[in-house]
Amino acid sequence: MTSFKQLRSDEDVPMALAAADLVIIADVTDGLAALVRKTAEERSLRASWIERSSFVRHTSILRDAGQVQVSPELLLLLRRQTAPSPRNAIEQFASQELQAHLWSVCALAHSPVVNRPSTASGSNDLQSYALLALLRSLPDSEAVPFVDEYFSCPSQAGERDPRFEWAPVPSGGSLDGVSWRRRPRMSTGWIYRQVVVVGERAWVRNATQGPTDRLWRSSTLVARLLNLALCVIYSRTSPGASEIALAKIESHPRDTELGDLANVVATAIVDRLVPWSS
Q: Is the pTM of this model over 0.85?
A: no
Residue 265 pLDDT? 97
pLDDT for 157-185, tens place per residue?
567 777 887 777 766 544 455 677 778 88
For residue 56, the surrounding DSSP H or E stretch is helix 52-57
Check residue 270 and give its pLDDT. 96
Q: Whole-angstrom Cα distance, residue 188 to residue 50? A: 48
- Mean of the per-residue pLDDT values of the chain: 83
Nearest-angstrom CA–CA distance, 230 and 251: 7
Predicted confidence at residue 9, as pLDDT, reads 55
Q: What pLDDT is recorded for position 278?
A: 40
180 — phi, psi (to 5°)? Answer: -130, 140
What confidence score (pLDDT) does residue 171 get? 61
Q: Which of 213, 189, 210, 188 is nearest to 202 (CA)?
A: 213
Residue ranges in the chain modelled with pLDDT below 70: 1-11, 83, 120-126, 154-158, 170-178, 207-210, 276-278
The pairing of beta strand 230-237 with beta strand 244-250: antiparallel
Instruction: Show the beta-strand stretches assigned E in 4-146.
Output: 6-7, 22-25, 47-50, 60-64, 67-71, 76-78, 113-114
Strands (E), the chain: 6-7, 22-25, 47-50, 60-64, 67-71, 76-78, 113-114, 150-152, 164-171, 174-184, 191-198, 201-204, 230-237, 244-250
| Sheet of strand 164-171, all strands in order from the earlier edge strand to the far edge | 150-152, 174-184, 164-171
Within 8 A by CB and 6+ apart from 123, the residues are: none
Helix, strand, coil % over all residues of the chain, rounded to 5:
35, 25, 35
Q: State how far the Cα of 66 lies from the Cα of 145, in Å rounded to an integer.
A: 42
Contact 257, 194 (CB under 8 A): yes
Task: Write down how long the chain is.
Answer: 278
Q: What is the pLDDT of residue 277?
A: 42
* pLDDT given for residue 187 in this prediction: 87
Tell me the chain's radius of gyration from C-alpha atoms.
Answer: 21
b vs e for 42-79, b when ≥16 Cβ sit within 10 Å of the residue's Cβ? eeebbbbbbbbebbbeebeeeeeeeeeebebebbbbbb
DSSP-derived secondary structure letter, 30 = -
Cα–Cα dist 111/260, whole Å: 29
